[in-house]
Structure 1
Amino acid sequence: MKFDVIDKQSTPFGLAEVLQVKQLAGSSDARSAEQLFFVSQAGMRMKMVKLTLPNANSRVRVEPGALYYMSGDLEIKASTGGGILRGLARRVTSGESLFVNEIHGKGEIYLEPTFGHFILINIEDDAIIVDKSLFYAGLGNLDISASMNRAAAGLVGGEGFFQTKISGTGVAVLFSPVPMNEIQQIEIRNNKLSVDGNFALLRTGGVDFSVEKSSKSWVATSVSGEGLLQTFKGNGQVWIAPTQGVYNKLATPNGLMELAGPPGARSTNT
């Protein structure tokens, strides 16, 4: 099978690559071939993540069920990632799995293929906070835990009371709702970013998340049409996916008709 490497991150811990299949053309079923034709015309391509571990001391963490196949001197080890209480806390608060699958050794690991999208983030002694269930795999010394949002942000911010915090040094593999070229990386330096909708995918550790009124008074907020806004302050980056709501809308029966209407007549919430 022929692949294109569309993204990669190389570190002392190993190599992470996102592979894209050039074309799927082997279906012998007419109905499947029809679906593949329209998928291909839409520009969708099958992708998978390849992780290369350089030596016997290397390790990678993958979500349960993510492994496709692997080759080399590799061994799968399952644990709770720091004890049963920590595993339960991670499961309840951030939505991540109770058990942690770690693959140790030297070799190549391929994760399950999908028409979805992956993003690779190189973390160097830092932390990122991401939406729940986005974490897919981690290469290197990464710790996965829960980050608690403020009460108001958790209640009405659209992200819930807990998100996933990834800290340490290595490469985080995230499953993204949109391709990397549709993600905007916004730098914040002691200023504020306000977002109308919950399409912020991640923020770095120095950025604080809250919910604020769109105007100074509640009266102005109620008549402005914007209501409450997700607000990010501090120093660091916020990654947003403005097209995420468009794809979600297109997946509904009347989505295309709604998207053809005046922009102010629809919500960008995802």
Structure 2
Amino acid sequence: MQLVQENRGDGITFRIHALTRVTRFSHGQDGSLSETREMDGRFTVEAELQGSGVLIEPGAFQYSVGHLQAGVQQQQEGGFLRRAMNAAGTGESAFATRFTGQGRIFSEPVRRHFIIAESSGDPGDEMILDDHAFYMAQDTMRLGTHTHTNISGALSGNGLRQPKLSGRGLFVVESPVPVSEVEVIELSGGQTLTVDGDMMLMYSASLNVQLQPLVRGLRNASRTGEGLVFVLSGQGTVFLTPTMRGVSGASL
């Protein structure tokens, strides 16, 4: 495996590893045998715990080593039926697998990219995630549900509800592109961002979000070929994946 990203937090370290394969063997002048490796397109996430805890998306676990305890933790408040309905609306599970103790946990290798990020825990640092983007988080964080209260939000491609991650700690999200291709845009109070919603990986919960036609009028909309777009305003951060529609040749 090849380490491609690492972030250390309070009692926890996240690492993203790229799986590799041998492409060539060669002999050195001293008779030693060496090998040439290349990434095969699969990635795995490692969480090393030093007395901390981690929440993992159900089904992502592969194996663990150390003195660890596993359990199930509900992702949000409320009864089972309410949690199940909210989870169905966001595309995320109502529960997560929780590990605590000392040791390392590895996820299943998949042909998807991952990004490690950190939240300060301040109210303005809460993030709204794309459906199915949540993968792992320190257990000091909580995955809940953000409900769009305006009509524009209800008509968005992600539906009425979206996953909302809050609290202080490190977390890992699944991305359609490598971290090197993610564009981070910081908005100030006087700026707006207009974007195709399919390209938004996550954004600050403090931002105001509207869904509207790119141009006004049915005839103008048909001439441009553009449908509805997201318009974000206020102060916060937006993470975009503008290369997701093409074939990415970059690596983490």
TM-score when normalising by structure 1 = 0.77
1:196, CA displacement in angstroms? 3.4
The reply on whether 1:213 has 2:251 as its aligned counterpart is no
Range 115-124 or range 17-26, more displaced: 17-26
Q: Is the 8 A contact 1:4 1:19 kept in 2?
A: yes
2:235 match: 235
1:103, CA displacement in angstroms? 0.6
Number of residue pairs matched?
Answer: 228
Q: Is the 8 A contact 2:195 2:230 kept in 1?
A: yes
1:202 match: 202
Q: Deviations over 1:211-267 (max 9, x none)?
A: 12323555534433324321111111111111112249xxxxxxxxxxxxxxxxxxx
Mark the CA change 1:89 to 1:195 in structure 2 (over 3 Å): closer, same or farther: same
Range 224-233 or range 81-90, more displaced: 81-90
Q: Is the 8 A contact 2:89 2:159 kept in 1?
A: no
1:164 match: 163
1:15 match: 13
d(CA) in 1 for partners of 2:91, 2:130: 10
Paired amino acid for 1:161: L
Structure that is richer in strand per residue: 2
SS in structure 2 opposite 1:114? coil
Structure that is richer in helix per residue: 1
**Correspondence 1:1-270 to 2 at 5 A:** 3-23=1-21, 44-55=40-51, 58-81=52-75, 82=77, 84-85=79-80, 87-125=83-121, 126-149=125-148, 150-155=150-155, 157-190=156-189, 191-217=191-217, 219-247=219-247
Paired amino acid for 1:193: L
1:136, CA displacement in angstroms? 0.8
Unaligned runs of 5+ in 1: 27-39, 249-270
Paired amino acid for 2:140: N
d(CA) in 2 for partners of 1:70, 1:180: 26
d(CA) in 1 for partners of 2:79, 2:68: 25
SS in structure 1 opposite 2:198? coil
Q: Deviations over 1:60-88 (max 9, x none)?
A: 00111111110111011113344543632
1:91, CA displacement in angstroms? 1.8
1:49, CA displacement in angstroms? 0.5
Unaligned runs of 5+ in 2: 25-37
d(CA) in 2 for partners of 1:179, 1:94: 23
Paired amino acid for 2:211: V
1:25, CA displacement in angstroms? 5.9
d(CA) in 2 for partners of 1:189, 1:68: 42
| Greater RCO structure (CA 8 Å; 6+ sep) | 2
Q: Is the 8 A contact 2:90 2:159 kept in 1?
A: no
- What is the alpha-carbon root mean square deviation over aligned residues? 2.3
